């Protein structure tokens, strides 16, 4: 961490941390000397110090427990839903292998969606154009950082649910939806209300909103010139039709296979799980029996029954040191075309957002007005032709910007990286012996 940063001590544990300001909203993050992540949030001129879980799990033990979807001898019979669909079976086998590979330090969640896919794809493409987000690997559920100012984490979302949303449409409240997504915690989830394989094949979406209006409002929030928004939205829908993405809710054609479902596999670092997610009952209320969620996910119990809600804060979701995402689609055509679709979509958006003054305005829209000090208006891709620009060697968005932002965000990842490097060294030493 930055040696010039102020030092603070957790009165509960005695851990000392050098703090690093990452946002313009008063949120401060740092890494303690014993590897934990500490958060300080200013509220009514008082500072609240919260220590986020870090070493409360043993990575080697997590590896022994194995893939999350198979823990607790969870029955795998739900996979039979995919019988006769070779493409779907291959997608789930790929996700299962990824679970096993990352289970030591990462908890996994599954977010099913269908009609929102085009919005997620546009979010990812905008992030690719402005921030070098690796949109070829994944969609991005949310991009407007300004909307997270009052609800940056799971704790604040739980609080708002109790005081506001519980009596006002619960997780269907538009303000709740702006920041949170619904997930399951197993590939073979049986409920409540949703099964991962079933949702993947059939799609999962609400119909109580105008998706085309959401798309146009997103473009407007990115300061796309108003006289070009409708044409740009129509061009995006036409591009989705070309590559097989269902556009039926946007005035376009449905996908030819009739399978409009998608699955976003979300890996969250175990020491960040309780910061970004909470165990939920249907419609979003806290499930106190599985709270805190990290205790449940770090165990060896059957996780095929139980929902979670995730605060899809782009500050974390665009940084692969914290959150890693992978997208699979039930429609084989779009699944195989998605990388090319993203290349063409980012090229389409680059025509408008690539111009320096418009890039600056778009970033202001995303950040909710005032830009952080590290923002640079020039295109960090420097002539890149694909979303996976070589302009940045960092694993996530913030590595493409100024040195202060890079240091600040990387400070959050240092505890994880340090433990991983130490564990790898130990494994190599054992191998030599």
0.85 exceeded by pTM:
no
For the cut 80, the answer to whether the pLDDT of residue 147 exceeds it is: yes
Classify 427 as helix, strand or coil. helix
pLDDT at site 368: 85
Residues of the chain with pLDDT > 90: what percent? 63
Which parts of 270-352 are beta strand (E)? 277-280, 307-311, 323-329
pLDDT at site 380: 61
CA distances (Å), origin 129, targets 167, 262, 369:
39, 23, 19
Instruction: Report H helices in 139-266.
Output: 154-163, 174-179, 196-202, 211-221, 226-243
Answer positive or negative: Cα dihedral of 217, 221, 227, 229: negative
CA distances (Å), origin 431, targets 88, 421, 425, 428:
38, 15, 10, 5
pLDDT in tens, 86-127: 999 999 999 999 999 999 999 999 999 999 999 999 999 999
- Higher pLDDT residue, 162 or 383? 162
DSSP annotation of 51: E
**What's the CA gap between 359 and 379, in Å, rounded?**
8
State mean pLDDT over 5-11: 41
For the cut 50, the answer to whether the pLDDT of residue 194 exceeds it is: yes
Residue by residue, DSSP assigns 65-124 as H--GGGGGG---GGGGGGTT-HHHHHHHHHHHHHHHHHTTTEEEEEEEESTTHHHHHHHH
Residues of the chain with pLDDT > 70: what percent? 73
pLDDT in tens, 268-323: 999 999 999 999 999 999 999 999 999 999 999 999 999 999 999 999 999 999 99
**What's the CA gap between 67 and 301, in Å, rounded?**
11
For the cut 90, the answer to whether the pLDDT of residue 391 exceeds it is: no
Output the average pLDDT for the chain: 80
**What's the CA gap between 52 and 291, in Å, rounded?**
14
DSSP annotation of 3: T
pLDDT in tens, 237-275: 999 999 999 999 999 999 999 999 999 999 999 999 999
Tokens linked to 145: 């950082």
For the cut 70, the answer to whether the pLDDT of residue 340 exceeds it is: yes
């Amino acid at each position: 961490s930055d040696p010039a940063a102020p030092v603070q001590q957790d009165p509960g544990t005695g851990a000392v941390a050098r703090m690093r300001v990452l946002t313009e909203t008063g949120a401060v993050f740092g890494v303690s000397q014993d590897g934990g992540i500490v958060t300080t949030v200013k509220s009514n001129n008082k500072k609240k110090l919260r220590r986020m879980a870090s070493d409360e799990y043993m990575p080697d033990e997590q590896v022994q427990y194995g893939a999350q979807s198979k823990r607790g001898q969870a029955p795998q019979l739900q996979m039979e839903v995919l019988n006769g669909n070779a493409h779907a079976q291959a997608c789930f086998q790929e996700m299962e292998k990824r679970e096993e590979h990352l289970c030591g330090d990462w908890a996994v969640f599954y977010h099913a969606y269908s009609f929102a896919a085009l919005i997620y794809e546009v979010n990812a493409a905008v992030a690719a154009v402005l921030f070098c987000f690796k949109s070829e690997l994944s969609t991005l559920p949310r991009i407007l950082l300004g909307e997270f100012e009052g609800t940056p984490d799971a704790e604040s979302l739980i609080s708002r649910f109790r005081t506001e949303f519980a009596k006002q449409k619960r997780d269907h409240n538009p303000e709740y939806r702006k920041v949170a997504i619904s997930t399951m915690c197993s590939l073979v989830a049986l409920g409540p209300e949703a099964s991962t394989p079933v949702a993947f094949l059939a799609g999962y979406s609400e119909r109580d909103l105008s998706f085309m209006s959401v798309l146009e409002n997103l473009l407007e929030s990115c300061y796309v010139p108003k006289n070009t928004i409708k044409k740009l939205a129509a061009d995006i829908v036409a591009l989705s039709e070309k590559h097989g993405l269902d556009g039926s809710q946007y005035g376009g054609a449905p996908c030819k296979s009739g399978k409009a479902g998608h699955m976003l596999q979300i890996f969250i670092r175990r020491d960040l799980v309780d910061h970004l997610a909470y165990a939920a009952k249907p419609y979003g209320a806290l499930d106190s029996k599985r709270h805190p969620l990290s205790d449940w996910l770090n165990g060896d119990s059957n996780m095929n029954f139980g929902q979670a809600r995730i605060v899809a804060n782009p500050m974390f979701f665009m940084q692969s040191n914290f959150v890693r995402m992978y997208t699979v689609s039930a429609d084989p055509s779009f699944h195989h075309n998605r990388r090319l679709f993203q290349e063409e979509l980012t090229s389409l958006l680059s025509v408008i957002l690539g111009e320096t003054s418009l890039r600056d305005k778009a970033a202001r829209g995303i950040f909710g007005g005032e830009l952080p000090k590290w923002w640079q208006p020039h295109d960090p891709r420097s002539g890149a032709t694909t979303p996976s620009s070589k302009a940045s060697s960092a694993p996530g968005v913030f590595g493409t910007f100024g040195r202060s932002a890079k240091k600040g965000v990387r400070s959050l990842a240092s505890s994880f990286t340090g433990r991983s490097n130490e564990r790898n060294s130990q494994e190599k030493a054992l191998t030599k012996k």
